[in-house]
A = this chain, B = another copy of it.
């Protein structure tokens, strides 16, 4: 299959002119709410049901044959596994079907019978030149294509695209990513057991998709029907021209046994993966959902800020961190955390320290980085000392990342101390970003207790905010790693 043919199929999958559901039933209400939420044209949504005349206020067709279209762009196939082979044969006989989302679970991941059914399905699809995702998957999210399989996915499109071998992780990434960090997506696909379309197919497609600037992958393993996918995936990853955040579910040996019962895939051993991470520009995400969201949050903001000022994206070239706070203890804890994660916290001494002391000649706190600055956070001096430190050329080179622990105790006030403090934050942000460095605020979490207004204000004003130093530092390290891998080649 050529790239053109693949593109044609995946265009039909992500931007279908019509969708048929076989068999429609009440239990698919969340799909229906997704379609409604995304304003999919109801005249182009065909429900097939032998037992119902109407469902969700829409007419039901007794058979796909009755549908007034020659070609179906996307068919959602939802039948029990024992009926899947016969249904497919019949449906493909009745209409030309470009793509199919096979929803049915309990296939290759369950037992040997399931594996046999998958083989048969693959054969039928091939004979009919029809492409499919699944089985055992949730399907497609494509705001521009007016598709979603549940109501909580945002309608406004963005530039992140996903290909996930877990429907739940796929859903949660979109749902929580939009709620927590205001992330917006171009396309998402939960691919399940990958009987036909492979992860590499979606990566190829995303790589040349103008609406995609960042790709997220959750990988578990390879379907035994596609022994060449490993090699193909490696080649595709090598050629990716945009950041790919890659989470490998089958990472530990113990998890590999769990993968078998989830998508029935064969996962690859850790050594091979280490080599893959070294040979390709992809960024490894630890198998933690929070890490996936954290990394995505920083890449997304970094890419979009750069795009908005029409700069060529330059990833951080170093990993020197300046820490600004009002707390000796937190400063030391942060220094440990950052150092243990492999970042540098350049120590200001000698001339460099004297330069800062001239701006702020004080005996309490510290100017050695971390800058521990008691009492002055709402003064002019605060900005001046921060500016001097940010622009410093340290022994280890320039500063690449500024982490500021924001300790505004009260919620948003419009006047006085808070206002001057907040202005300082805005000025430090502007300065740092104008120098193409990364600026992150640390706001210790008060889950459901305090600081909600303050957090919202920060987000509205474009600050990047993390709940602790470790999470911010890990995400930055991923950004740096991507730059190191891709920019060194030049």
Chain B residue contacts of A447, Cβ below 8 A = 180, 445, 447-448, 455, 467
Q: How far is the CB of A372 from chain B (nearest CB, A)?
A: 7
Select from chain B the residue with minimum beta-carbon distance to A172: B444
Question: Quick one: which of B105, B179, B335 contacts A254, CB cutoff 8 A?
Answer: B335
Which residues in window 247-279 of A have CB below 8 A to B?
Answer: 247, 249-255, 257-259, 261-263
**Given the interface contacts A180-B446, A180-B449, A288-B470, does A249 sit within 8 Å of B169 by beta carbon?**
no
- Assess whether B179 is in contact with A332, with CB atoms less than 8 Å apart: no
**Chain B CB within 8 A of A165 CB:** yes
**Given the interface contacts A363-B106, A448-B455, A468-B290, does A370 sit within 8 Å of B258 by beta carbon?**
yes
Report the Cα distance A165→B331, complex, angstroms.
13
**Chain B CB within 8 A of A469 CB:** yes
**Chain B CB within 8 A of A282 CB:** no
Question: Quick one: which of B179, B337, B452 contacts A288, CB cutoff 8 A?
Answer: B337
Report the Cα distance A368→B286, complex, angstroms.
23
Question: Quick one: which of B110, B166, B258, B329 contacts A167, CB cutoff 8 A?
Answer: B329
Instruction: Give the number of residues in A that approach B within 8 Å (Cβ atoms).
Output: 73
Per-residue contact bits, chain A 334-348, to B (CB 8 Å; 1 contact, 0 not): 011101100001010
- Assess whether A288 is in contact with B446, with CB atoms less than 8 Å apart: no
- Assess whether A251 is in contact with B448, with CB atoms less than 8 Å apart: no
Most buried by B among A165, A289, A444: A289
Question: Which residues of A are at the interface with B, using a C-beta cutoff of 8 A?
Answer: 81, 105-106, 110-111, 114, 164-170, 172, 176, 179-180, 218, 220, 247, 249-255, 257-259, 261-263, 286-290, 326-333, 335-337, 339-340, 345, 347, 363-364, 366, 368, 370, 372, 444-450, 452, 455-456, 467-470
Given contacts A258-B335, A287-B340, A290-B470, 20 further A-B contacts (CB under 8 A): A81-B363, A105-B364, A111-B363, A167-B329, A179-B449, A249-B329, A255-B332, A257-B368, A259-B332, A261-B368, A262-B329, A262-B332, A262-B372, A263-B328, A286-B337, A287-B333, A290-B468, A447-B447, A447-B467, A448-B448
9 A-B pairs with least C-beta separation: A166-B329, A169-B329, A168-B327, A106-B363, A287-B336, A262-B328, A261-B366, A249-B332, A255-B335
10 CB contacts below 8 A, A to B, read A114-B363, A166-B330, A176-B444, A249-B336, A257-B368, A261-B368, A262-B328, A263-B328, A288-B337, A448-B452
